[in-house]
């Protein structure tokens, strides 16, 4: 990690899990309703997440989420909401939790399942959009 005061960035300047959590916390609008959100997805430990996505054709132009207040889950959802902007639906559906974990090797083993929960919530929101846009 870089020698920043709060441990929010890696040496390459990318955000750590804590960095994504701090950013999410500072800009949170948890009370606002999410338009056209996908269904809530639950993990085995009763953590949950959902995404709301906006599309321009087949590409994602905005992503928002709500999730339980697990720091790691919030950070993964925050990172995904940034990562998918501009990506086509087909590309998002091919993403795996391992792609997200590659960026965050600092996450302890017992918290890595949060990446799968965040990724599943994102993919289900995409599938929700695809099903609704079919004639």
What integer pLDDT is reported at residue 1 of this predicted model?
A: 41
Task: Please state, in angstroms and as integers, the Cα–Cα distance from residue 65 to each residue in 5, 21, 75, 92, 125, following that order.
Answer: 28, 13, 11, 16, 10
Q: Does the residue 61 lie in any domain? A: yes
CATH number of domain containing 31: 3.90.1010.10
Q: Is residue 120 a contact partner of residue 41, using CB atoms and an 8 Å limit?
A: yes
User: What are the structure tokens assigned to 113, written together?
Assistant: 């399942």
Q: Does the residue 73 lie in any domain? A: yes
Q: What pLDDT band is residue 2 in, cutting at 50, 70 and 90?
A: very low
What integer pLDDT is reported at residue 94 of this predicted model?
A: 95
- Which residue in the block uniquely carries the two structure tokens 């959902």? 50
Q: Does the residue 128 lie in any domain? A: yes
Residue 44 structural domain: 17-132
The total domain count for the chain is: 1
What integer pLDDT is reported at residue 3 of this predicted model?
A: 44
Query: In this predicted model, what pLDDT tens digit does every residue of 40-85 receive, in sequence order?
Result: 999 989 899 999 999 988 899 999 999 988 999 999 999 999 999 9
What's the rounded Cα separation, in Å, for the pair 38 and 52? 6
């Amino acid at each position: 990690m870089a020698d920043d005061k709060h441990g929010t960035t890696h040496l390459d300047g990318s955000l750590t899990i804590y960095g994504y959590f701090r950013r999410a916390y500072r800009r949170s609008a948890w009370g606002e309703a999410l338009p056209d959100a996908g269904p809530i997805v639950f993990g085995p430990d009763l953590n949950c997440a959902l995404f709301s996505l906006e599309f321009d054709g087949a590409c994602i132009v905005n992503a928002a989420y709500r999730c339980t207040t697990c720091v790691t889950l919030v950070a993964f959802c925050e990172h995904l909401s940034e990562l998918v902007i501009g990506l086509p639906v087909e590309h998002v559906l091919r993403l795996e939790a391992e792609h997200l974990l590659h960026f965050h090797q600092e996450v302890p083993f017992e918290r890595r399942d949060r990446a799968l929960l965040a990724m599943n919530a994102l993919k289900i929101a995409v599938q929700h959009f695809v099903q609704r846009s079919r004639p």
